[in-house]
Amino acid sequence: MNIGEAILYKYPDADPTKDFIIQNNGDGTPSYIARWNIRAPIPTEADLQAWWDELKQNPPFEPPDQIQLLSQKLSEEKLVRKQLEELNQTLGRQLSELKLAIMSWEERDESK
């Protein structure tokens, strides 16, 4: 169990450098809460374990990294650009057809 992560799961706005300090003496004993400045009772081992278990069942949302976001945006832009090019070709063909129709009408009018 990571005590700091468990506390941050329960108190997501807490600052781990000001609101609480986790300490490990390096002598083989487990880490412990060395300082507690949150306006709530110091959590018991059972509290911490329950928060840790809940955190593992409901991991926090991690936003996608910037490269993935940019790649997705680029793919979307390419798709939109392709659609616009196809629309432009369609409109160009329709415009040409209209011009031909107008020219044929003008020719018919002149022949009268």
Question: Per-residue pLDDT tens for 60-83?
Answer: 767 778 888 889 899 999 999 999
Percent residues over pLDDT 90 in the chain: 72
Neighbouring residues of 66: CB distance < 8 A, sequence distance ≥ 6: none
CB atoms within 10 A of CB 8: 19
pLDDT band at 88 (very low <50, low <70, confident <90, very high): very high
Q: How many CA atoms lie less than 13 Å away from 99 in the CB half-sphere?
A: 6
Global pTM reads 0.53
The model's confidence at residue 112, banded by pLDDT at 50, 70 and 90, is low
Q: Report the b/e string of 77-111 with b at 16+ CB within 10 A.
A: eeeeeeeeeeeeeeeeeeeeeeeeeeeeeeeeeee
Confidence of residue 109 (pLDDT cuts 50, 70, 90): confident
- Quote the pLDDT of residue 65: 82
Choice between 61 and 19, residue whose per-residue pLDDT is larger = 19
Q: How many Cα atoms sit within 13 Å of 35 on the Cβ side?
A: 9
pLDDT for 8 equals 95
Question: At residue 33, does pLDDT exceed 90?
Answer: yes
> How far apart (Å, rounded) are the C-alpha atoms in residues 39 and 93?
72
